[in-house]
């Protein structure tokens, strides 16, 4: 097997020093035009491909980006991680993942995962969801670029990438109201999570603008998981709540809700209409296919990574704006006047 070409080989054949070859590879101007042309000709002839990692180390970079994710097993964050990884690879960077397997009272888990990433001398940090707050972020942003995805952190708005959750939830609820529904149950996300808070606000605004009284009995707390969607419907049915439509704060809870309604003998959408939020991959393949608010999940991951790399490279890069849109499928229909539950 042939040995891979090294910069020592290039230096020898070009008749220059190794440091001269290194300066050419790093784009230094401290090399004469004639020597630069000679070195580049030898590089071309030997088909030498410099290591991006080695070049990064020469510039004092590790060529790695830390990615702290709220829950790496979540299909939502899985799509976002896919976008991050794809974009990082385009810039010859590698992600280093850490997950907090997000739970209530998990701030110590988050801090431990954060400390682990920082100890690996990452060049930048992407935080997907979670609870990392202002006091924890302040010393980090003084050392390296940080992008927070999915929520706003006061004082760090220029580094936070979010979608308009309020508007998305408002549109979902207005859509159900437009179909004639006034008894619309809502499964919230984790109550301390910014996404969940904004989506409840959008739901409430839609009801208020349509002069529909808010019934606290129709609001049930979830945890953004399928099982919490199942549990929420059991609570609604157990308390005898009357509803003809249900808006879940994410698709995963909608999946659990739909299955539980089915096991209790309800047909979707004939008996109860269901709308989710996120438009995850599986939502087009549920039975019936789920009407949901589309969030460009993978695109957000890509944008976070692209922007972070530009900031690592010294650019004053602004974060793009993302919007939601309602994806209408088959899980919601116009209210039947004979529905009595």
Q: Provide DSSP, 221-232.
A: E--SSHHHHHHH
181 and 75 housed in the same domain: no
Could you read off the pLDDT tens digit of each residue along the chain, which spans 341 residues?
467 788 888 999 999 998 888 778 766 667 888 888 898 899 888 888 766 656 665 566 888 999 999 888 888 999 999 999 999 998 889 999 998 865 555 567 888 888 999 998 899 999 998 888 888 899 999 999 999 999 888 899 999 999 999 999 999 999 999 999 999 999 999 998 889 999 999 999 999 999 999 999 999 999 999 999 999 999 999 999 999 999 999 999 999 999 999 999 999 999 999 999 999 999 999 999 999 999 999 999 999 999 999 999 999 999 998 999 999 999 999 997 765 55
25 belongs to a structural domain: yes
180 and 156 housed in the same domain: no
In sequence order, which ranges of 142-193 are alpha helices (DSSP H)? Answer: 165-178
Of 340, 332, 223, the C-alpha closest to 283 is 332
Measured in degrees and rounded to the nearest 5, phi and psi for residue 161 equal: -110, 115
217 and 290 housed in the same domain: yes
41 belongs to a structural domain: yes
Find out whether 330 and 323 touch, Cβ atoms under 8 Å: no
Find out whether 255 and 286 touch, Cβ atoms under 8 Å: yes
112 belongs to a structural domain: yes
CATH of the domain at 14: 1.10.260.40
221 and 233 housed in the same domain: yes
327 belongs to a structural domain: no
256 and 284 housed in the same domain: yes
174 and 207 housed in the same domain: yes
141 belongs to a structural domain: yes
List the domain range (segments joined by +) for residue 81: 64-163+297-322
- Cα 263 to Cα 243, 292, 333: the distances in Å are 17, 22, 20
102 and 77 housed in the same domain: yes
Sign of the four-CA dihedral 19, 25, 27, 32 = positive
339 belongs to a structural domain: no
334 belongs to a structural domain: no
107 and 151 housed in the same domain: yes
**Torsion on CA atoms 259, 265, 271, 272, rounded to nearest 10:** -30
Q: Into how many domains does the chain fold?
A: 3
CATH of the domain at 307: 3.40.50.2300
146 and 171 housed in the same domain: no
78 belongs to a structural domain: yes
- Cα 206 to Cα 7, 195, 257, 269, 292: the distances in Å are 65, 17, 22, 21, 16
279 and 177 housed in the same domain: yes
pTM of the model: 0.80
């Amino acid at each position: 097997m042939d040995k891979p070409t090294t910069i020592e080989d290039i230096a020898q054949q070009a008749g220059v020093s190794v440091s001269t070859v290194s300066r050419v590879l790093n784009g230094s101007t401290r090399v004469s035009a004639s020597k630069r042309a000679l070195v580049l000709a030898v590089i071309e002839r030997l088909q030498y491909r410099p290591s991006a990692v080695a070049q990064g180390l020469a510039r004092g970079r590790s060529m790695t980006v830390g990615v702290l994710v709220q829950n790496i097993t979540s299909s939502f964050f899985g799509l976002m991680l896919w976008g991050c990884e794809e974009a990082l690879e385009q810039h010859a960077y590698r992600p280093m993942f850490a997950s907090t397997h997000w739970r209530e009272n998990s701030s110590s888990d988050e801090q431990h995962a954060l400390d682990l990433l920082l100890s690996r001398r990452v060049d930048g940090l992407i935080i997907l969801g979670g609870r990392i707050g202002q006091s924890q972020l302040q010393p980090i942003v003084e050392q390296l670029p940080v992008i927070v995805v999915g929520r706003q952190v006061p004082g760090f708005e220029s580094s936070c990438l979010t979608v308009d959750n309020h508007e998305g939830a408002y549109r979902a609820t207005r859509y159900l109201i437009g179909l004639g529904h006034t008894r619309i149950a809502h499964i919230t996300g984790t109550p301390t999570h910014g996404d969940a808070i904004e989506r409840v606000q959008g739901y409430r605004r839609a009801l208020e603008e349509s002069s529909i009284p808010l019934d606290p009995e129709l609001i049930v707390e979830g945890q953004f998981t399928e099982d919490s969607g199942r549990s929420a419907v059991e609570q609604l049915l157990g308390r005898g709540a009357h509803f003809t439509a249900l808006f879940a704060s994410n698709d995963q809870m909608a999946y659990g809700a739909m299955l539980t309604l089915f096991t209790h003998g309800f047909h979707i959408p004939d008996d109860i209409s269901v709308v989710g939020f996120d438009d995850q991959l599986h939502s087009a393949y549920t039975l019936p296919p789920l009407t949901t608010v589309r969030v460009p999940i993978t695109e957000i991951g890509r944008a976070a990574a692209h922007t972070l790399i530009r900031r690592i490279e010294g650019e004053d890069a602004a974060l793009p704006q993302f919007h939601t849109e309602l994806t209408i499928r088959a899980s919601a229909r116009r209210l039947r006047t004979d529905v009595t539950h």
